[in-house]
A and B are shown apart, each in its own frame.
Chain A
């Protein structure tokens, strides 16, 4: 919904840095979340951005540019356990509390 776009798949090497991009429609924007989802499991919350800039949390950081309708999730010092799907989800004012998810980016971390 709301044209939330993410790359379908990415591959990166253990110990490296990877950036997962997300673009969305800017009209009515009210916040952006990143979730991690391992196969067959529930999405788990990673980060939240509502103002422009970078939010850092350990190995994970998330960036937002509201004017460009753009966010990225940065994962540093990749570990094998980071292999998962990463979901970008946007709140819009006209859809209340319903999260609008992208299709997710499947990240494979290789040795």
Chain B
């Protein structure tokens, strides 16, 4: 399968703990995005990388959140001191400016569902 993959698929943690999620984009895609989705809502943009550079960050991304893409391939999203309000689905997407359909479509991974108790 050459799609976007995310690990873990599910995570249950206690309030105050740190969690880290991983995303592996489609191999030739140089842009990588993180979104958060809560029940009954559309995904909300968190941050975006072009290669290893983090180019955009939403104001939703508090100082407890940090994302990295050290080698321009996979990315990690860490949440420190988790709160119950962090419970959500965390979606990763990737895209390429050389998309054959001449549009930059973002392709999503299956997501990591986080539950903070």
Q: Do A and B bind each other?
A: yes
Count residues of A near B (Cβ-Cβ below 8 Å): 25
Q: Separation in Å of the A71 CB from the closest CB of chain B?
A: 15
Check B114 for interface membership: any CB of A closer than 8 A: no
Contact B44 A101, beta carbon cutoff 8 Å: yes
* Whole-angstrom CA separation of A40 from B4 in the bound complex: 16
Range for the number of chain B residues in contact with chain A: 20 to 34
Contact A97 B104, beta carbon cutoff 8 Å: yes
* Whole-angstrom CA separation of A87 from B33 in the bound complex: 17
Q: Which residues of A contact B33 (CB under 8 A)?
A: 97-99
Contact A87 B103, beta carbon cutoff 8 Å: no
Given A33-B105, A97-B33: A43 and B56 interface contact (C-beta under 8 Å): no
* CB < 8 Å neighbour of B45 from A40, A42, A100, A102: A100
Given A33-B105, A42-B110: A97 and B56 interface contact (C-beta under 8 Å): yes
Given A43-B108, A48-B103, A97-B48: A87 and B42 interface contact (C-beta under 8 Å): yes
* Whole-angstrom CA separation of A18 from B113 in the bound complex: 31
- Considering the complex of A and B, which 7 residue pairs feature the smallest CB-CB distances, nearest first? A101-B42, A98-B45, A42-B108, A43-B108, A48-B103, A42-B110, A101-B43
